[in-house]
Amino acid sequence: RKENAKMQLKRNIGYFEGVSFIIGSIVGAGIFVSPTGVLKHSLLNVGVALTIWTASGLVSLMGSLCYAELGTALPFSGGEYSHIKRGLGSLPAFVFIWTSTFTKPASNAARALLFAEYATQPFYGICPAPEVLKKCLALAVLWSLGILNGRSVKMAAWVQTVFTLLKMMALSVIAVGGIVLIGGRKESLARFEDAFSSEIPNASQIAEAFFQGLYAYGGWWSLNYMAEEMKNPSRNIPLTVMTAVPAVIVFYLLVNISYLSVLTPKEIVSSVAVAVTWADRVIPSVAWIIPVSVAVSIFGALNSSMFTLGRLSYAGSQSGHLPVLISMLNVHSCTPAPAMIFSTTIASIFIIPSDLIMLTNYFGFSAWLMIGLTCASLIVLRYREPHLHRPYKVFLPVPFVMVAMSFFLVLAPIVWSPNLQYVYAFLFMLGSLVVYLPFIHLKLHFAFLDKITCHLQLLLEVCPADESAESKCE
């Protein structure tokens, strides 16, 4: 089959690197900065907040097991995009890549700016760091990681592993510190003995808290983007998911228990960055470790996100949904270098007028819409292609629960707090039809674009994945 003939990315990613990528994608700034949201919407009820952290983790685990089935049955670059295209057809897949080409680089830009914020703050004390400096640092970090990912998969995987280990060490410091303190303080223990004693939130508040929890687990879907580069994907994808996601759930619960053993629920809700407040209270002499850890954590999550975004652009171009140049591989390193340049350039555009990033907050619903469509693809493929080789099969009710959950999470914010920005986001998604009909469906083509592609191909030293790169990529 032609699809298989094009599979020439090197299989450089093993089990350990896969675990690093998933943990690195999930653990960003969220757990250090924003457990306040879950506690606030739980009406400071400690028991409800910890239950929501657990439930959010279990939903993420259910989703990642659905993705594990798709990733082992169809181990192609492009993650959700490849699965939606196979299960639901070309148009929904194009809407996905159209939306992702806008939202994912914007979230990378937001991460780069947040990294710059934490990295520069220690040098400026209580004064705010200059905006120009933060933007220059954010651009420098984006392009450094873009070039690294465009040059070498092994190097990018190594950086990911190192930064994941560093952030897990930082979380371990908080987790262990909290456990030690609980043993020695009666008031800390009392907080957990009467965990459910305060007011119980209503359904809409629980849903809001759930949103906050799920946001902190975002990134569990990242492994499927590198399925084509996994060693032994049929074994390693399910194994990696079943290691990484439960590990994150355990760490998140321990870290939240640690915060609650040191700070009262009211102190947590009023804190801008909970981990920093915790460090000031517990390890004041080395409290600077925590802002550094947040910066390290964001850096690792940004590396992982840029890696996966490059694979998405690469897969979209292979299917003819993006310019052909983006699906070419570098003849020396066999990496999708043009795809990395493309996604890094878009992210850079978002950094310059950073108000644009505010718009992407309203695209949160689109992420869950795409997760719902991916799980729906799994159900469709089970019935339409029953003989497809599936090395791992998820329990069938799980994708049905995920589809229902996804559509609830899409509709809930729009129903509870209707906002004109949601209309703009929806219109943007519909705008994909304006491009799809002439250029994809009717295959409209301009000859001068071929000349530009040819010149860029020579400049970047890239060639299509199914041509002479084959001998060098093996």
DSSP 428-450: HHHTHHHHIIIIIIS----HHHH
470 in a structural domain: no
Averaged pLDDT, 123-137: 85
Phi, psi of 328 (to 5 degrees): -85, 155
Residue 473 lies in a domain: no
pLDDT > 90: percent of the chain? 36
Instruction: Please report whether residue 342 resides in a domain.
Output: yes
**Tokens representing 187?**
């008031």
Residue-level pLDDT at 474: 40
Phi-psi region at 43: left, alpha or beta (left = phi > 0; alpha = psi -120 to 50): left
**pLDDT for res 201:** 84
Assess whether pLDDT exceeds 50 at residue 416: yes
Cα distances (angstroms) measured from residue 437 to each of 53, 267, 306, 432, 445: 43, 54, 29, 9, 12
pLDDT in tens, 244-278: 999 999 999 999 999 988 888 888 888 877 888 88
Please give the Cα distance from 278 to 408 (Å, whole number): 35
Element (H, E) at 454: helix 447-460
- Mean pLDDT throughout 390-396? 92
The whole-number pLDDT of residue 7 equals: 39
Provide the CATH number for the domain around residue 276. Answer: 1.20.1740.10
* 4: pLDDT strictly greater than 50: no
In the prediction, which pLDDT does 361 show?
Answer: 64
Give me the domain span that covers residue 424: 15-464
Mean pLDDT over the full length of the chain: 85
Chain Cα centroid distance, residue 150: 19
Domains contained in the chain, number: 1
Residue 1 in domain = no
Predicted local confidence at residue 358, as pLDDT: 64
- The tens digit of pLDDT for each residue in 282-329 reads 888 887 888 888 889 999 999 999 999 989 999 999 888 988 889 888
pLDDT of residue 126: 75
Q: Is the dihedral of CA 23, 29, 31, 32 positive or negative?
A: positive
Domain-located, residue 425: yes
User: According to the model, what pLDDT value does residue 415 have?
Assistant: 82
| Residue 467 pLDDT greater than 50, yes or no | no
Tell me if 7 is assigned to some domain. Answer: no
* pTM (predicted TM-score): 0.88
* pLDDT of 189: 66
What is the average pLDDT across 173-200? 73
Alpha-carbon torsion, ordered 298, 302, 303, 308, to 10 deg:
140
Q: Region 201-229: what's the mean pLDDT?
A: 86
Q: How far apart are CA 331 and CA 315, in angstroms?
A: 18
Cα dihedral angle (34, 38, 40, 46), rounded to 10 degrees? -120
Of residues 241 and 290, which shows the higher confidence score?
241
**Is 9 inside any structural domain?**
no
Residue in the structure block whose two tokens are 């959950």: 405
Q: What is the pLDDT of residues 357-367, one digit of tens each?
A: 566 666 677 88
d(CA 369, CA 188): 40
Q: What's the pLDDT tens digit per position in 20-47?
A: 999 999 998 778 776 888 898 888 888 8
Least confident of 184-193, 208-217, 235-244, 365-374: 184-193
Q: What is the dihedral of CA 465, 469, 470, 474, to 10 degrees?
A: -110
- Chain mean position to CA 209: 19
User: Does any domain span residue 151?
Assistant: yes
